[in-house]
Structure 1
Amino acid sequence: MKHKNKPITSLKRLFASLLFIALPLSGAYSQDSKKKESRNAPVFTQFSYKGNDAIYEKNPLQPNEFYSPILQGCYPDPSITHKGKDYYLVNSSFAMTPGVPIFHSTDMVNWKQIGHVLDKPSQLKVEKSGISQGIYAPDIKYNPYNDTFYMITTQIAGGMGNMMVKTKDPAKGWGDAIKLQFDGIDPSLFFDDNGKAYVVHNDAPPAGTELYNGHRVIKLWEYDLATDKVIAGTDKILVNGGTDINQKPIWIEGPHMYKKDGRYFLMCAEGGTGDWHSEVIFSSDSPTGPFVPAKNNPILTQRYFAKDRKDKVDWAGHADLVEGPGGKYYAVFLAVRPNNKDRVNTGRETFMVPVDWSGEFPVFENGLVPLKPKLKMPEGVTNQTGKNGFFPNGNFTFQDQFKTNVLDLKWIGIRGWRESFTTLTKQGLKIIPFDTNIQAAVPTSTLFYRQQHASFKAETALNYKPGSEKELAGLVCYQNEKYNYVFGVTKKGSEYYVVLERTEKGISELVSTEKIKYKKDLHLQVIAQGDDYMFNYSVDGVNYKNVGGTVSGDILSTDVAGGFTGSLIGLYATSGNDIKP
């Protein structure tokens, strides 16, 4: 059977084979770059983003409801843990910097981002990685045996491979990266109630035993908490291929182990990260197996439903379980919401469903029917999303006047650290332009915000006049360096021009250009209605003029561009512009 996900999973396999290729750091993009400030750096005086998805208009919240996904936009591969009433959730971040966003909640509904796990350059070596390399499938676990939080992940960059960081308090930062000596991807920790620790992960089958493309295994190691190393010689294959190797299941991965009522449960993703994605579960009397698959697998998937169904949620899988308030279990998992052309621009998002674990195996409530946008609120909880610092969902507005001393945690870099090219001033956000442009697979001077809706409006104002044709600043809509739109202002001779460029497969085309005159601030705007994108400008902040007509957002989708990330909206500056009006 042919699945849309095969190119994605093949890419993942290729990256996994590159785990231990060291990538040198580029000194050109160190913190020292900030000292070489251009006298002509643009100042962005404001940014706003407003979501306008019909699904939320048609499904307004009642007082006892909340929306899922709980994290909209590119927040994939969720993992969750808790210490008492404090719940912590992390996501994959690939080549984004800082790495691994971390969220905190006390009720499983209202989530507040408290930072990033990998917020130091020594922990994250993505300066020259592909955008879908870097940090894969982080797993967060609290170990009551030593009162310590662990985050274990695969970093496909800089020769890091499988690695771990730990802390006593996730709100106070994490320690140095500890490199772990085993191959494969998607590691997860399990702490037994007798104090023993284990690592489970995805790996290739033993050499010479691979039966088909996508054949993988789940492997276990004993883990020494005193030395933070796997114990040599303790590795054992727990699952070969998947739930039934005779059916040639593909890409068993993302494993998590749990213990309940004296039995051990191993839950994994299966089927690849595309439209055959699912979640399956096994049980055993011992953490070392043998593990027997449940008869009702998969326990979560969206693959069996009509492709043209309305308000489609798809690609569901890569789940993690946690016991929530009142002993009620919940699952977090990734899924996508394609736009009107069935393309995935917002990326893989974090969803949640309640779980009934009153029987032998967990039952994902509504996990085997088309997923709905709303969930019932746990008793006694008030929905505060978007208020009091809690992460918003639904159709929300994000505004930043850049008046604080630190950047909002929603802003990220790609490959490069935000601090190396941004400065918050009294006038606004100054972006110090690098001489590389957005098509470079190295750090660029671009501050990114995730696209979180199929339909949205994003706009910014910048105080800037380029000094030459090599200078440009403005907005980008970015899937990766080979698939993006650039909308900004540059100079030709003594005149200023707004330009719109489309890049597909690394080949750039000037869509439209217009000579403009303006005194101070230039206002730039992108409006998306599903697959239709429009780029507009204003010289007075009131009257906007379109450039280039309506263009397709196809190049901003993973369907066209490939990879694992969602589309990003960037505030961009460069002194290496090559767009010619």
Structure 2
Amino acid sequence: MRKTKQRTKRKIGIGSCLLALTLLYSCQSMRAADEKVDGEPIYSNFKYSGNDKIYDENPLTAGQFYSPILQGCYPDPSITRKGDDFYLVNSSFVMFPGVPIFHSKDLVNWKQIGHVLDRESQLKVGTAGISEGIYAPDIMYNPYNDTFYMITTQIASGIGNMVVKTKDPQKGNWTDPIQLNFGGIDPALFFDDDGKAYVVHNDAPDDGKELYQGHRVIKIWEYDVDKDQVVAGTSKIIVDGGVDLSTKPIWIEAPHIYKKNGTYYLMCAEGGTGSNHSEVVFSSTNPMGPYVPATTNPILSQRHLPQDRSNKVDWAGHADLVQTPEGEWYGVFLAVRPNEKKRVNTGRETFILPVDWSGEWPVFEGGMEPLKPSIRMPKGVKNEMNTGAYFANGNFTFIDKFEGKGLDLRWIALRGPREKFVLEGKAGLAIKPFEVSIREQKPISALFYRQQHRAFTTEVEMDYTPRSESDLAGITCLQSEAFNYVFGVTRSGNDYYLVLERTEKGSAQVVAKEKLTESGKIKLRVQAEGDNYQFSYASTDSDYKNIGGTVSGDILSTDVAGGFTGSMIGLYSTSANNMKL
């Protein structure tokens, strides 16, 4: 009887604890709606509007759609198909959740359905630099076991090359990472007609055989689908250096194998993901090679074109091909749209082109000509990208009122889950500050939206009272932890200030500051017109007032800051502010 009473008490105790935790979480979740907390900003009415001239000057006509299909930092696209369903993924580096995944029925209208890596057990990037983390994911459907695979390289935490799987990408539930026993980067899977599987990837040459800086090779392995591991002893170099080793080609990478009419085709990027970028193709009668380059290489590039061309698109490469159920071929690839000062603030974006494969080799239609803003649609498709039902492109406006309905999938954090600092409620979105600066390689309390246009306006309302000089909240335009702008409210003694800070190469400098008459509700705005950025503020019943004049967006450019990401606009809160006012 005594043991029964003890067990009953223990059950009541556990139940009480669970109830208390549930009530605590519920109260915390409602704080944004019911209680203003000093040191914790509440954001509402976020609005992003893109206004690039190229879309105004090139309106769509019947049978056309815009490329890029994914504007902003959505690089290294990979695509696969099962039946009528297309799935596309992108690199995400230290963005959390990682590897955005998109779905389409027609290659024109895309909808984000989630992220492949949405758990901390899958993504361990807590101390990684912004251009580390997840590189070049490859998504592939295997019809022999009705399974989708996403294989990638996680440059963090010693994970390296890895694969995750699911039966249904629309439901998610991707497995935890399975580490793979090989080095290098950019792995991709290929499933042959006989059910055999292979992995191809970029790697360094064998020891002692590196001939020049940037000399890389493509390797292939047999892959054991039952064990989810490469077969030891099967590795083979199938491309050494690139199309023509005598020309010292650099960075052969991002390989994919396709099979058409009994012939194996190996398509790779060559030249590095910059101004020399290109796409090249090889063929073989055996998946293990030898592979012979096409005489038509490169099959996609912008590097040979006049540098002063109008509406310039550059850095084209890192492609993947897919065939429609009707037999048409299309290729997705990355490219950039520099601004008037040749700076790349929107980062590497996902473009698409029709591919003519009526001859021996695949040919990107217009891929060697100056890329145009619109292309022809597949047969029988209706463009619905800007109806609100799909991921928008061209010029558009994105509005998020933060009404407690759950975060839009476009919002991401850096290095850690959003849920650890975001509280949603009917009155807005509260961001709990971490004692971490935006310049640290740690999870920060900031929610980011990718910059998707060269010309844009972003506005947001914020209700905030800093408790001390260590508190700051506002908005940030960020390229990395070492290159960013912070525009926020902080405190000095008993006074409140709005401050604009510029960080370049990790060194921060206050550009402008303005004393506020009171804390509380304020509207913040950032506008860009190419390289020119302006930061402004307003009370709820006044016009916007600029602080700091016009500042350069140079530090938000990939080719200035380095790395692989594009600029992002963030809602930022910290209790580790150290600005010198």
Would you say the 8 A contact 2:476–2:569 is kept in 1?
Answer: yes
Partner of 1:449: 449
Assess if the C-alpha contact under 8 Å between 1:239 and 1:291 holds in 2.
yes
Report the alpha carbon displacement of residue 171 of structure 1 after superposing the two structures with TM.
1.1
1:169-184 equivalences under 5 Å are: 169-173=168-172, 174-184=174-184
Partners of 2:139 and 2:150 within 8 A in 1: yes
- Aligned match of 2:244: 244
For 2:342 and 2:451, the matched residues in 1 are separated by: 16
Contact 2:38 2:466 in 1 (8 A): no
The alignment's TM-score, normalised by the length of structure 1, stands at: 0.93
Deviation at 1:467, TM superposition (A): 1.5
Give the conservation status (yes or no) of the 8 Å contact 1:138–1:153: yes
Q: Which position in structure 2 is the counterpart of 1:14? A: none
1:257-293 CA distance string (max 9 Å, x none): 0000000000000000000000000000000111000
Q: Quick check: 1:280 aligned with 2:273?
A: no
| Cα deviations by residue, 1:177-230 (Å, 9 ceiling, x for unpaired) | 100010000000000010000000000000000100011000000000000010
* Distance apart, 1:580 and its partner CA: 2.9
| Equivalent residue number for residue 107 of structure 2 | 108
- Structure 1: 5+ residue runs without aligned partners? 1-31
C-alpha separation in 1, matches of 2:275 and 2:477: 25
Q: Which residue of 1 aligns with 2:153?
A: 154
Q: Higher mean Cα deviation, 303-312 or 373-382?
A: 373-382
Partner of 2:566: 566
After superposition, residues 300-379 of structure 1 pair within 5 angstroms as 300-379=300-379
2:141 aligned residue: 142
Paired position in structure 2 for 1:188:
188
Residue aligning to 1:475: 475
Structure 2: gaps (5+ residues)? 1-24, 32-36
CA shift for structure 1 position 404 = 3.8
Deviation track 1:359-381 (CA, whole Å, cap 9, x = no partner) reads: 11101000110000001122221
Letter in 2 for 1:429: L
Aligned positions of 1:420-435 closer than 5 A: 420-435=420-435
Q: What is the one-letter code of the residue matched to 2:317?
A: G
Q: Indicate if the aligned counterparts of 1:79 and 1:91 stay in contact, CA closer than 8 A.
A: yes
Asked which structure has the greater CA Rg, the reply is 2
**1:515-574 CA distance string (max 9 Å, x none):** 112464200000000000000000125401000000000000011100000000000001
CA 1:35–1:126: 2 relative to 1, 3 Å: farther
Give the distance between the partners of 1:350 and 1:404, measured in 2 at CA: 31
Question: Which residue type is aligned with residue 71 of structure 1?
Answer: L
Contact 2:345-2:567 within 8 A present in 1 as well:
yes
> Partner letter of residue 501 of structure 2?
E
Contact 1:518-1:539 at 8 Å conserved across structures:
no
Indicate conservation of the 8 Å contact 1:474/1:487, yes or no.
Answer: yes
The superposition leaves residues 358-412 of structure 1 with CA deviations (integer Å, 9 ceiling, x where unpaired) of 1111010001100000011222211111324310000110000011431000000
Distance 1:115 1:207 in 2: 41
Q: Conserved in 2, the CA contact under 8 Å of 1:479 and 1:565?
A: yes
Q: Which amino acid aligns with 1:168?
A: K
Deviations 1:453-508 (A, max 9, x none): 01100011111111111111000000011100000111112221110000101111
Q: Secondary structure at the match of 1:560?
A: helix
* 1:37-76 equivalence runs, <5 A: 40-76=39-75
1:55-134 residue pairs with structure 2 within 5 A? 55-134=54-133
Structure 2 equivalent of residue 6 of structure 1: none
User: Secondary structure, in 3 states, of the residue corresponding to 2:246?
Assistant: helix
Instruction: Determine the C-alpha separation between the residues in 2 that align with 1:484 and 1:388.
Output: 31
Cα distance in 2 between the residues matched to 1:315 and 1:197: 31
* CA shift for structure 1 position 40: 3.0
Hey, what's the Cα distance between the residues in 1 that align with 2:62 and 2:536? 38
Higher mean C-alpha deviation, range 404-413 or range 67-76: 404-413
The answer to whether the Cα contact below 8 Å between 1:107 and 1:325 also exists between their aligned partners in 2 is no
Partner of 1:308, secondary structure, is coil
1:93-112, CA deviations, whole angstroms, 9 ceiling, x for partnerless residues? 00100000000000000000
Any idea what SS the aligned residue of 1:55 has?
helix
**SS of residue matched to 1:170:** coil
1:15 equivalent in structure 2: none
Cα distance between partner residues in 2 of 1:110 and 1:216: 37
Separation in 2, partners of 1:393, 1:244: 38
State the number of aligned residues: 549
What RMSD in Å do the two structures reach over aligned CA positions? 1.4
Query: 1:286 corresponds to which letter in structure 2?
Result: N
The runs of 4+ residues in structure 1 deviating greater than 4 Å are: 34-39
Are the counterparts in 2 of residues 40 and 467 from structure 1 also a CA contact under 8 Å? yes
Work out the percentage of aligned pairs sharing the same amino acid. 64
* 2-structure distance, mates of 1:546, 1:39: 26
Alpha-carbon distance in structure 1 between the residues aligned to 2:377 and 2:243: 34
Is residue 345–residue 557 contact of structure 1 (8 Å, CA) maintained in 2? Answer: yes
Deviations 1:18-39 (A, max 9, x none): xxxxxxxxxxxxxx9x989975
TM-score (norm 2): 0.93
* 1:579 Cα deviation after fit: 1.3
- Counterparts in 2 of 1:52 and 1:516: CA distance versus 1, 3 Å: same
Q: Tell me the distance in 2 between the aligned counterparts of 1:117 and 1:257.
A: 22
SS at 1:469 equivalent: coil
* Cα distance change of structure 1 residues 460 and 541 upon mapping to structure 2, 3 Å threshold: farther
Instruction: Please give the alpha-carbon distance, in whole angstroms, between the structure 1 residues aligned to 2:404 and 2:426.
Output: 9
Answer yes or no: is 1:290 the counterpart of 2:286: no
Measured in 1, the distance between the counterparts of 2:521 and 2:541 equals: 8
Q: Distance in 1 between matches of 2:45 and 2:160?
A: 39
